[in-house]
Amino acid sequence: MKFPRVATALICVVALALGIVVLVTVTQTDSRAHQANLNRYADTVCRGLAAPAAAYRSMPGHGQDDSLKAWYTRYFATLGRTVHETLSAMDKLGKVSDPVSATDQELRRFFGTAQLAAADGGKGVAGLDPDDPAFDARIDKLTGGPIAPERFNDMLDRAHKTPQLSKAMVIAPSCEPATQDMQLVVQRKMLDLLFGGNTPT
């Protein structure tokens, strides 16, 4: 009678061990999947937050397009398209869990506002006269506010300081270049690098 009891006990122990192994494996798989999705999310966010740099890089070189009005028209179009694509990509990735969810909501609001501001900027440029002495001041107003490069950079810093997301940003391939590019933009060095010190005038 003792043998069946021992056998039963052994079977229970083995079953329990197998259950633990399965549980650990499933948990590890879920964890890896979650991290991979968070990495994709971070990459998407970084591309969006580098939108001003992407817009600058899309511009024709100095001397290739002498129309400052056309230059800024293309700037706003590229900025708006980049932000729109970022929001669409974020929607496809779905919601993120805490502690990233609060930053995610903030980013979505920011991108939504920036998209509208970029569209307004494009419309505003269309009505400007490059020969107007107040042209530069009007352009500064259109490129400021919600779509000022400093705002994008602030949001990039916010993302870097968010637990778990900051780890993903180290892995995501777009994040380091985005951080470097936006530092150049905020320091007003991006245009000098692109146009050799001869920014469009």
Q: Is the pLDDT of residue 174 over 80?
A: yes
What pLDDT does 13 receive? Answer: 55
Q: What is the share, in percent, of the chain residues with pLDDT greater than 70?
A: 75
Residue 196 — very low, low, confident or very high, per pLDDT cuts 50/70/90? low
What is the reported pTM? Answer: 0.78
* Residue 104 CA: distances (Å) to CA of 45, 155, 156, 168, 171: 9, 11, 12, 14, 18
What pLDDT does 99 receive? Answer: 82
* pLDDT (mean) for 67-88: 92
Which of 9-23, 75-89, 173-187 is least confident?
9-23
Q: Coil, strand, or helix at residue 164?
A: coil
Residue 24 — very low, low, confident or very high, per pLDDT cuts 50/70/90? very low
Residue 86 — very low, low, confident or very high, per pLDDT cuts 50/70/90? very high
Contacts of 95 (CB under 8 A, 6+ apart): 101, 104
What pLDDT does 25 receive? Answer: 43
Q: Is the pLDDT of residue 187 over 60?
A: yes
Q: What is the pLDDT of residues 32-48, one digit of tens each?
A: 777 789 999 999 999 99
Convert 96-120 to b/e letters by CB count within 10 Å (16 or more is b).
beeebeebbeebeebbeebbebbbb
How far is residue 5's CA from residue 100's CA, in Å, rounded to a whole number? 51
* pLDDT (mean) for 26-31: 48
Q: What is the mean pLDDT of the chain?
A: 82
How far is residue 154's CA from residue 159's CA, in Å, rounded to a whole number? 9
What pLDDT does 45 receive? Answer: 97
**Quick one: 89 exposed, middle or buried, by C-beta within 10 A (0-12, 13-18, 19+)?**
middle
Q: Is the pLDDT of residue 115 over 70?
A: yes
